[in-house]
Amino acid sequence: MQKHTQVNIAYLIFAFFAIMLVQQWWHQVQTVEVVPYSQFEKLLQESKISEVVVSDQTITGTLKSPQGGKSTVVANIVQPQLADRLSKYDVKFTRVYQSTFLRDLLSWVVPALVFFGVWFFLVRRFASQQGMGGFMNIGKSRAKVYVESKTGVSFADVAGVDEAKAELQEVVEFLKNPERYGRLGARIPKGILLIGPPGTGKTLLARAVAGEAGVSFFSISGSEFVEMFVGVGAARVRDLFEQARQKAPAIIFIDELDALGRARGSGMMGGHDEKEQTLNQLLSELDGFDPSIGLVLLAATNRPEILDPAQLRAGRFDRQVLVDRPEKIGRLQILRVHAKKIHLAEGVELEQVAALTPGFSGADLANLINEAALLATRRGADSVTLNDFTQAVERIVAGLEKRSRVLNESERRTVAYHEMGHALVAMSLPGSDPVHKISIIPRGIGALGYTIQRPTEDRFLMTREELENKMTVLLGGRGAETVVFGHLSTGAADDLAKVTGIARSMALRYGMVEKLGYVSFDDERPNLLGVPMAQAREYSEDTAREIDIAVRDIVHSAFDRAVVILTRERDVLERGAKLLLEKETLAEPELAELKAAVRPA
């Protein structure tokens, strides 16, 4: 790249000096000396002029002894008697009609060519730096081609998604032995769509398929198809499939398919824009290629709800593979894969780490391993301990410790009672997750303290009683402030938001309010990103009022329940808050004594 830049600069310098030399020559050739007509007469009398050219308005005379190679031009109207006088002095003269067409043309064309050359050079350099490849390559695909030795990924490097690997193993077998799968007339799916939340390993799975099969791997992001020029994306789709056909058997992988596969007609500008033309070309290519030649299309997305339905029909993306967040066993497998890169201390049980990380994706677990190794390195240890993993989990979930944020004594007492209220309510309610750690050290952006519960198992279904217990635990902090201080603070803002969300889901989605009936008032479909989408309300104002009342009653009932528990356990609350103010952080062994003193609700 550096050598190519030096060559371009050398060409630019050479062109600059060449232009300067031509300009100097042109200036010397075209420069004339303007003299008065009287001086021209004098030159004639002195026989210093050898030739005269007469035009409409000027007389150009060539000197017998040129002075610097310049001509003498007289800007005067030729008089009728001039010809006789020229003959008298034996001077050769010619009457011409001067044409300025070529001169005028060059005066317009030459500057335009110079400016276009400079502009073209700068644009080519900018395009090269941006990876556009120049104007001649604007319709070319920028897919990166990987072969088995370059992917460096196999199914052994992918853990926690056994079902997805089993689905894709069939693709590998087909690419290795297509005759076996075609003997009964079966065909491999044309397209396979990997669906899952961010960080679950969809791209890693696609590269593992190519690594296992040992075929060419064409990888491109959906956003790279779409350009500012209409039709460029469609040209790149055609070019990508043409390249893959030439290297078949091969795998085409399109990451972030939703960037070009959004449902047509959903944009603000209507149809026929660049994205829709690109999508139409992709659908056409899916219909046109024969999978028996060993060409398989893999795509990944975390927003399947916005994809165009035409992509998902049979004959295009025939198979959809869910790559979800791993369960506890899957998390353990992922931790074992990534733990090979670090030095674990003796006695570290990765099962305990897997139990502390419900809801973590594969990327989150890889980050957890790295954070734990960094913490151990920072304190100068020779190996990574379980405490490093615990601190890494807290850092990822709650944020970085803010020991520089100093709270006054009143705020520290409020935070201590607030967090101990959460813990005691959780210890009292049956079925609640065990309390793992309590701290009043500020973390993250706004957390002045935190209480961490460790789930004993992954849960996929919850009853109304379990949801009510969860809300009661969340309101334990506000309840402790009410019981001890008799006033409210802003520390429960996040708890209230979570409780309100659970209560609204119970009323709108789960049909858990008898007064409202077993009706769902929420048409929102859950998405993999976890971001709620705006929707239109499809119920009356009276129903909306009943929903608001039901949500308020559910929250108030949970709060009253938390207050009753904490009033009954006031002594344990005082003792626990005092201990927390002294040590700032309490772990499970230190919480065992408090738990033994709490009576079940």
Which residue numbers are catalytic?
Answer: 419
- 157 burial level (CB within 10 Å; 0-12, 13-18, 19+): middle
- Report the alpha-carbon distance of residue 399 to residue 503 in Å, rounded: 27
Please name the residues in contact with 322: beta carbons below 8 A apart, sequence gap of 6 or more: 163, 164, 195, 196
Nearest to 471 by CA among 503, 447, 505: 503
319 forms beta bridges with 192
What is the per-residue burial (b if ≥16 Cβ within 10 Å, else e) of 324-347? bbbebebbbbbbebbbeeeebeee
3-state DSSP of 275-340: HHHHHHHHHHHHHHCCHHHCEEEEEEECCHHHECHHHCCCCCEEEEEECCCCCHHHHHHHHHHHHC
Tokens of 439: 């701290």
Q: Distance of alpha carbon 297 from its chain centroid, rounded?
A: 22
- In terms of phi and psi (left: phi > 0; alpha: psi -120 to 50; beta: otherwise), the region of 270 is left
Contact status, residue 495 vs residue 450, Cβ threshold 8 Å = no
| Closest-CA residue to 454 (of 394, 384, 365, 372) | 394
CB 422 within 8 A of CB 451: yes
Q: Which sign, positive or negative, has the C-alpha torsion 96, 101, 104, 109?
A: negative
Give one DSSP letter per residue of 89-146, joined into a string: TT-EEEE-----HHHHHHHHHHHHHHHHHHHHHHHHHHHHHTT---GGGTTS--PEEE
Between β-strands 435-439 and 585-587, what pairing exists: parallel, antiparallel or unpaired? antiparallel
Cα–Cα dist 144/220, whole Å: 7
Residues of 78-102 as b/e, b for ≥16 C-beta within 10 angstroms? beeeeeeebeeeeeebeeeeeeeee
557 touches 564 (CB < 8 A)? no
Q: Which two tokens stand for residue 337?
A: 């894969």
Report which secondary-structure segment, H or E, holds 255: strand 250-255
